[in-house]
Amino acid sequence: MIDFQIGIEEARNGNCSEPDRLRIRLGHECLTRLVRRGSNAPDDWLHAPPVPLAFWFIDNWWRLRWEPAPYADLNAEWRLAHHLSSVGAGYHWPNVSIWGEGSRVGFAVHADANNLQPSLKFVAQPRLTYVASSTVEDAIDRFVGHVLEHVGNASDGLDAEYRQLQAERTDSTVATWRKLEAMLGFDPDDAPDGLVDGLETLTERYGSEPLQEAALAHQGEGATEALNNCIEAAESSNVLIRTPIAFDTPDPREVGRSSLEPPWRLAVSAAKQLRFWLNVPPGPIRNTRLSEIVGTNVDYLGTKRRSTFDVPYALRLRQESGSKLALRSTWSHTRRFEICRSLGDIIWSHDDAMGPLSAAKSERQKFQRAFAQGFLCPFDDLRAYINTDKPGEDDIHAAARHFHVSERLIETTLVNNQVIDQASFEQMVDAS
């Protein structure tokens, strides 16, 4: 399991004019590894006081733990809460973003190319790493505790802020509130009056986890209105699916909960198991077979149908006879994908009363997307069909038609399985 550590080393020789030294480690990588101007020798320790960093962790705790990376551009407001460079205090901090995805915390190490302080340059290699959330929580708690022991009464109120945070974390009602605020993209107590109250009211009907997914699906002040519109659309929808598995079946439903495996890997496993249990042969799933699997009318799969609903995200709403879907897709291949995402959501959530289908980067949404991808177009079947180590645009186009999925799904599958590299994928996207 990947570890996360923040170490402090006191100023050498008791020199109060020299700041303490900090070292931040992520697994075997030292995030604070740097080279100073005039020196070719790298150093793992950053000369910076620990108090500003401790304040930053406390002030942004809830968003760091529960707000994932946005699916659009990383705006300045998000960076303030998630990017170490925003610690500031006159010091240069590692070029690292941190965000929460439920059971995991993501770390993105960026190249230190736009260094505004030529006195030093961080040299940690760009990478994306996930760490168990409990490991990150423990590391931050140990660090803040060490800082408080180290600075004593000179902490400028750090002790009081930390005690307040600990009280919020141990109070389940307050913690649920703070978590929802963070998922909506707000700092504590910054959400507009009534917004969180409105979502909390819906929680009584649909449960906390679906409401949290809805908050991530449409952050900001319009979250409640957006969700109500999606619910209304689902209630009036004619698209109904039924799960092809019994709810007392231990698998594949149980694969949807684990901090030891990434969501996409769990999803691929679940999709593979479900195809096996349903006796789906290798290759594409045609519309007639898919309609039999999910128990929906084949007419909703086969032809171009303009969506009846103008909603910000698709939504699955559980009914006594199955789940109603408010779909956003116009084209057949994207509706097939949304319907299979709904099936993946049922598996992940153990058939929650409601399931948003959005572009958010939560574990649940990642599972949905990877499940639909693996169910409609298993990698082994795709590889056998294209039958080349260097697929081109014609191969991708043909595979998309064969499996009745989007070309983007084919490209993503090939990138994820390292058949084509990310640079080639981006070139295809730019050319399209």
- Mean pLDDT across the stretch 236-260? 64
Token pair for 167: 């009280």
Amino acid at 394: D
Give the pLDDT of residue 193: 79
What are the start-end ranges of the H helices in 83-236? 133-151, 158-170, 172-183, 195-206, 208-217, 223-235
- Tell me which of 41 and 305 has the higher pLDDT: 41
> Is it the case that residue 163 has pLDDT exceeding 90?
yes
User: 187, exposed or middle or buried, with CB in 10 Å at 0-12, 13-18, 19+?
Assistant: middle
Q: Give the tens place of pLDDT for each residue, 57-92.
A: 999 999 999 999 987 777 888 999 999 999 988 888
CA–CA separation, 99 and 62 (whole Å): 10
Residue percentage of the chain with pLDDT more than 70: 88
> Is it the case that residue 306 has pLDDT exceeding 70?
no
Give the pLDDT of residue 13: 56
User: Which of the residue ranges 135-149, 152-166, 254-268, 409-423 has the most confident prediction, judged by mean pLDDT?
Assistant: 135-149
> Is it the case that residue 258 has pLDDT exceeding 60?
no
DSSP 8-state symbol, 154 = G
CA–CA separation, 335 and 302 (whole Å): 9
Contact 199, 224 (CB under 8 A): yes
Q: Give the tens place of pLDDT for each residue, 374-420.
A: 999 999 999 999 988 888 899 999 999 999 999 999 998 998 888 87
Give the pLDDT of residue 242: 87
Q: In this structure, what are the phi and psi dihedrals at residue 100, rounded to the nearest 5 degrees? A: -105, 145
Token pair for 54: 């401790």
> Is it the case that residue 5 has pLDDT exceeding 70?
yes
DSSP strand E in 226-295: where? 239-241
Would strands 120-122 and 34-36 be described as parallel, antiparallel, or unpaired? Answer: antiparallel
Q: Which helix (H) or strand (E) holds 326?
A: strand 322-326
- Tell me which of 217 and 118 has the higher pLDDT: 217
Domain limits, the chain: 4-172, 192-376, 379-431
Give the pLDDT of residue 293: 92
- Mean pLDDT across the stretch 8-25? 72
Q: What is the mean pLDDT of the chain?
A: 86
> Is it the case that residue 426 has pLDDT exceeding 80?
no
pLDDT level of residue 156 (50, 70, 90 thresholds): confident
- Mean pLDDT across the stretch 96-123? 82
CA–CA separation, 406 and 219 (whole Å): 27
DSSP 8-state symbol, 365 = H
Q: Give the tens place of pLDDT for each residue, 129-138.
A: 999 999 999 9
> Is it the case that residue 18 has pLDDT exceeding 60?
no
pLDDT level of residue 425 (50, 70, 90 thresholds): very low
- Mean pLDDT across the stretch 348-365? 93
> Is it the case that residue 294 has pLDDT exceeding 70?
yes
Contact 301, 291 (CB under 8 A): yes
DSSP 8-state symbol, 281 = P
Give the pLDDT of residue 303: 65
Give the pLDDT of residue 218: 94
Q: In this structure, what are the phi and psi dihedrals at residue 86, rounded to the nearest 5 degrees? A: -75, -5
User: Which of the residue ranges 163-172, 185-194, 423-432 has the most confident prediction, judged by mean pLDDT?
Assistant: 163-172
CA–CA separation, 305 and 167 (whole Å): 52
Minimum mean pLDDT range among 3-7, 301-305, 385-389, 415-419? 301-305
CA–CA separation, 352 and 37 (whole Å): 56
Give the pLDDT of residue 115: 54
> Is it the case that residue 16 has pLDDT exceeding 70?
no
User: Which of the residue ranges 88-97, 144-153, 260-269, 421-430 has the most confident prediction, judged by mean pLDDT?
Assistant: 88-97
- Mean pLDDT across the stretch 163-190? 94
Give the pLDDT of residue 19: 66
Give the pLDDT of residue 142: 96
> Is it the case that residue 288 has pLDDT exceeding 60?
yes
Q: Give the tens place of pLDDT for each residue, 309-338.
A: 789 999 999 998 889 999 988 888 899 999
Give the pLDDT of residue 150: 82
